[in-house]
């Protein structure tokens, strides 16, 4: 199929996510390998966002492809009611990666329904109905996950479901108060969360749900002591702590799961994306021993036709094995340190860069009109002049493929990227930031 033919076919019959359809101009992709993919005319692009921060091991990983092929030759699908070898093996592998309080996995199709089922389990287990989540969060766009979401993508779902309560993120860079230390910031945010719990009635709160590290909404890394403090509040009030690791999990931050950086043990962990690197859709909820034991004698009112799909679980087994065999965590720590330093250097050179936040290969460059006032380059929830799409378009022309959200540019390449490849790609971002500076 020729380039224009494929574009026209796509535009005519496909509704594309989060887009006004009239002006779409999708790149017709021919093939991919590692960090790179090529269009039908042979132009190479560098995937600097791991697509949607899910293609952790890049394109065409031979081990994952082989696992899918071998499973397809045996059987492609079997009902969740049967014992399936890839399903059971992947559940065991995931539990062995998690803290010693975790016990079982319920598999889903992706991240949104992982979060849907996690909050259902929390409500069933506690007998409570209120769920706390943060404003700068994205947990999915289905009805339950969309109500859990805090940012503007929840608006089409409102009026929402009763019992979903929002609280503020520990977003220190944007806070009106200036803190002397991270400990001071933590004390402030935890005090406000405690106050809100008291006003809502903690005996009615089933769970607090957090993206361990906020993803698309800015790679917001919590200050020292914050997550242990949330864990303590949950223990004090009998509330479950759910860590959404859909984007941050499976090596993205330099540890297998982001909560490991903060020394906490969640009650439930939701995951997706990096568990199969997107080769086949899969998500899941890992639950603690106490929650698993509860459902030994109480009905688990959760079910999906494709729960633990064999092809997906075979891909997941190969993917999890590859993380270990290729020493991906060590590699991410090394390449992530290089990425962070290069981005921090850009901050010193560019007036438009207000803040850089990076952990592992998970980074956001926050753009501002003025570094002193910290005024965002575009207002929250609005970009009437298309400023950020223009910046992403300028990167696209250079073959640097990523996406933006609000006034942030995300930099989250596949975990296999080398420092040499970063050294080749980051000057493209540097050049575009110079163009943004010139427009201020």
The enclosing H or E element of 310 equals helix 310-325
Task: Tell me the average pLDDT across 16-37.
Answer: 94
SS3 107: strand
User: What does the alpha-carbon distance between residue 308 and residue 79 come to, in Å, rounded to a whole number?
Assistant: 9
pLDDT at 239: 98
Q: pLDDT tens-digit profile of 372-408?
A: 999 999 999 999 999 999 999 999 999 999 999 999 9
8 A C-beta contact, residue 200 and residue 122: no
Q: Are both 3-61+327-438 and 63-325 of the same fold?
A: no
Spatial contact of 205 and 132, defined as CB atoms under 8 Å apart: yes
Question: And the tokens for 57?
Answer: 């091991």
pLDDT given for residue 392 in this prediction: 97
Q: Is the peptide bond before 298 cis (omega within 30 degrees of 0)?
A: no
| DSSP assignment string, 210-264 | EESSB-TTT-BPPPTTHHHHHHHHHHHHTPEEEEE-TTTTTTTTSSSSGGGGGT-
User: In the predicted model, what is the mean pLDDT of residues 259-269?
Assistant: 98
- What is the reported pLDDT for 108? 98
Q: Which distant-in-sequence residues (6+ apart) come within 8 Å of 120 by Cβ? A: 144, 301, 302
Both tokens of 127, joined, read 């007998």
Task: Quick: pLDDT tens for 44-96.
Answer: 999 999 999 999 999 999 999 999 999 999 999 999 999 999 999 999 999 99
- Does the pLDDT of residue 217 top 90, yes or no? yes
* Residue whose tokens read 């005090």: 191
CATH domain 3-61+327-438 topology: 3.90.1150
- What average pLDDT is seen over the chain? 97
Q: In CATH, what class is 63-325? A: alpha beta
Mean pLDDT of 145-159: 94
Q: Could you give the strand order of the β-sheet that contains 240-244, starting from the edge strand earlier in sequence? A: 102-108, 283-288, 268-271, 240-244, 205-211, 130-134, 164-167
Reduced to 3 states, what is the DSSP secondary structure of residue 59? Answer: strand
Locate the domains of the chain by residue range.
3-61+327-438, 63-325
**Cα–Cα distance between 268 and 179 in angstroms, integer?**
32
What digits encode the pLDDT tens for the residues 409-438?
Answer: 999 999 999 999 999 999 999 999 999 999
Q: Does 97 score more than 90 pLDDT?
A: yes
Sequence-ordered alpha helix ranges (H) in 128-180: 143-148
pTM for this structure? 0.96
Banded pLDDT at 23 (limits 50, 70, 90) = confident
Rounded average pLDDT over 203-220: 97
Using one digit for the tens of pLDDT, what is the confidence trace for 277-316?
999 999 999 999 999 999 999 999 999 999 999 999 999 9
């Amino acid at each position: 199929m020729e380039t224009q033919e494929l574009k026209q076919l796509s535009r005519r019959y496909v509704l594309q996510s989060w887009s006004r359809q009239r002006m779409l101009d999708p790149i017709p992709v021919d093939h991919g390998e590692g960090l790179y993919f090529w269009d039908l005319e042979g132009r190479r692009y560098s995937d600097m966002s791991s697509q949607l921060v899910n293609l952790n091991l890049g394109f065409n990983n031979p081990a994952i492809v082989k696992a899918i092929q071998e499973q397809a030759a045996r059987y492609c699908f079997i009902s969740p009611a049967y014992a399936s070898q890839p399903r059971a093996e992947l559940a065991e592998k995931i539990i062995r990666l998690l803290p010693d309080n975790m016990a079982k996995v319920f598999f889903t199709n992706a991240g949104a329904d992982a979060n849907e089922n996690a909050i259902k389990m929390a409500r069933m287990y506690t007998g409570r109905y209120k769920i706390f989540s943060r404003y700068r969060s994205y947990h999915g766009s289905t009805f339950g996950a969309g109500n859990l979401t805090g940012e503007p993508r929840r608006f089409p779902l409102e009026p929402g479901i009763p019992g979903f309560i929002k609280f503020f993120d520990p977003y220190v860079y944007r806070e009106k108060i200036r803190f002397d230390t991270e400990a001071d910031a933590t004390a402030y945010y935890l005090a406000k969360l405690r106050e809100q719990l008291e006003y809502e009635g903690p005996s009615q709160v089933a769970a607090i749900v957090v993206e361990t590290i906020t993803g698309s909404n800015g790679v917001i890394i919590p200050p020292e002591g914050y997550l242990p403090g949330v864990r303590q509040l949950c223990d004090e009030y009998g509330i479950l702590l759910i860590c959404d690791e859909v984007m941050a999990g499976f090596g993205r931050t330099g540890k297998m799961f982001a909560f490991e950086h903060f020394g906490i043990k969640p009650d439930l962990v939701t995951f997706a994306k990096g568990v199969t690197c997107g080769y086949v859709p899969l998500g899941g909820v890992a639950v603690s021993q106490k929650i698993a034991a509860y459902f030994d004698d109480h009905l688990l009112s959760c079910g999906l036709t494709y729960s633990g799909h064999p092809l997906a679980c075979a891909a997941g087994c190969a993917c999890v094995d590859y993380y270990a065999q290729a020493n991906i965590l060590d590699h991410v720590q090394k390449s992530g340190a290089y990425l962070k330093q290069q981005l921090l250097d850009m901050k010193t050179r560019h007036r438009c860069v207000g803040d850089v936040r990076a952990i592992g290969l998970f980074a956001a460059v926050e753009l501002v009109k003025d570094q002193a006032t910290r005024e965002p380059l575009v207002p929250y929830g609005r970009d009437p002049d298309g400023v950020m799409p223009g910046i992403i378009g300028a990167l696209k022309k250079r073959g640097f493929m990523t996406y933006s959200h609000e006034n942030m540019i995300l930099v989250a390449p596949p975990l296999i990227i080398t420092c040499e490849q970063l050294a080749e790609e980051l000057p493209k971002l540097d050049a575009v930031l110079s163009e943004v500076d010139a427009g201020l």
